[in-house]
A and B are shown apart, each in its own frame.
Chain A
Amino acid sequence: MSRSTIDLWVGLFVLMGGAALLFLALKVGNLSAASFTESYTIEARFANIGGLKVRAPVKVAGVVVGRVADIRYDNERFEAVVSMAVESRYEFPRDTIGAILTSGLLGEQYVGLEPGGDERMLKAGDVLKITQSAVVLEKLIGQFLFNKAAEAPQP
């Protein structure tokens, strides 16, 4: 069977399609960041996670080092358990503090890690000892009003 112009066109078409997929993967999706790199899981318990969602970023010093992999509720300790997939190339001391923070005033919530000074590093499956829950805006406002009201009668 001889080669025909159809083969050329199909080849060109497949190349273009492949290029488009590559463009989407590299330029739009930024393949290099976190998606298919190896990671290990650490857990943290929070009294309140606020509006944290699965796949929210995990940041250290503002740099994304992983993603929230799973959020579940521990019915015995009445706490939220957040599993985070952290890229294998990053290591953190065992006394790292986990906190749920908000980017900007109304932005999305993420988990911020604050490395401590321990010599030993966190391993896969470890649980963060110290955590800081999300700041819930309603509570904050409520507290503020309550304080104001408490102050008011003694000018």
Chain B
Amino acid sequence: MIRNIGARVIDGVWRLGFASRFLFLLLRYSGQSFLRLHLTLREIYFSGVLSLLIILVSGLFVGLVLGLQGYETLQRYGSSEALGVLVALSLTRELGPVVAGLLFASRAGSAVTAEIGLMKTTEQLKAMDMMAVNPIARVAAPRFWGGVISMPLLAALFSAMGILGGWLIGVAFIGVDDGAFWSQMQAAVDIRYDIVNGVIKSFVFGVAVSLIAVFEGYDCEPTAEGVSRAITRTVVSSALAILALDFVLTSFMFRG
């Protein structure tokens, strides 16, 4: 039992070390992949554009729910005009980056892991290596950067969509004053403090999710079973990483 736990811990540390080395190599070979932009563009398409629908629809629904629930609570205290503030702050600071990150991990992250894992299983990575093409530069780096670039854009779209959803419920359906909705929001939301910090968060999540996805694919056991396990691990570790990082970042950013 104890030996089992010990082995797991050692395995975890070993993987962490390998992941760090992997990140180093990834960054080192990134220059090559930026020279050929079309590779990265392709990955932005696969991880960004193809996640667009789920991000927009979820953002809208989250905004609608926030609008409804927020109004319920606020109107008890007679301050339903603050609905805009509530919706905008919760989305830009927390829900936008976090929920978009979780969706991104399960939509794009898992796809990246599956793709790289499959390439490993069918020896495509080894073949590439034998053709004197570095698989980290050719396969991993573009996917990593595709994710890193897509993620903040997706989170911004999610937040924007959510605020529109909140406006739809609050102003168009319930009848909160339109002017108060926007002006209170504008008075309370600070660009540097709320919006830039939200973008920083989503960027950090993008780095974390992309690294996990690429690494798990690269590190997976080259069997069908190994690939499916790697996909599960990608989604689980991405979710944990996002939530843990969110806590750390929040405590740094929004103190006082």
Contact = CB atoms under 8 A, between A and B. Distances in A.
Nearest to B186: A30
A23 interface: yes
Contacts of B241: none
A13 B52 contact: yes
A14 B88 CA distance: 22
Contacts of B210: none
Nearest to B43: A10
A36 B182 CA distance: 20
Interface string B38-56: 1001101100110010000
B192 interface: yes
Contacts of B156: 17, 20-21, 24
Contacts of A7: 38, 41
B185 interface: yes
Contacts of A28: 88, 92, 163, 185-186, 189, 195
Nearest to B153: A17
Q: Which of B49, B192, B199 has the largest number of chain A CB atoms within 10 A? A: B49
A138 B33 CA distance: 64
Contacts of B42: 6
Interface in B18-64: 38, 41-42, 44-45, 48-49, 52
User: At the interface, is chain B mostly helix, strand, loop or mixed?
Assistant: helix
Contacts of A1: 38
A3 to B, nearest CB: 10
Interface string B139-167: 00000000000101110110111010000
B193 interface: yes
Chain A: interface size category: 20 to 34
Nearest to B87: A28
A33 B48 contact: no
B190 interface: yes
Nearest to A21: B156
A121 B186 CA distance: 30
Chain B: interface size category: 20 to 34
Contact of B44 (A13, A35, A54): A13
Nearest to B56: A16
B182 A25 contact: no
Interface in B202-256: 256
Q: Which of A29, A36, A55 has the largest number of chain B CB atoms within 10 A? A: A29
A28 B150 CA distance: 22
B157 A16 contact: yes
B191 interface: yes
B155 to A, nearest CB: 9
Interface of B: 38, 41-42, 44-45, 48-49, 52, 88, 92, 150, 152-154, 156-157, 159-161, 163, 182, 185-187, 189-195, 198-199, 256
Given A10-B41, A17-B48, A19-B160, 9 more contacts: A13-B48, A20-B156, A21-B156, A28-B88, A29-B189, A29-B190, A30-B191, A33-B187, A36-B191
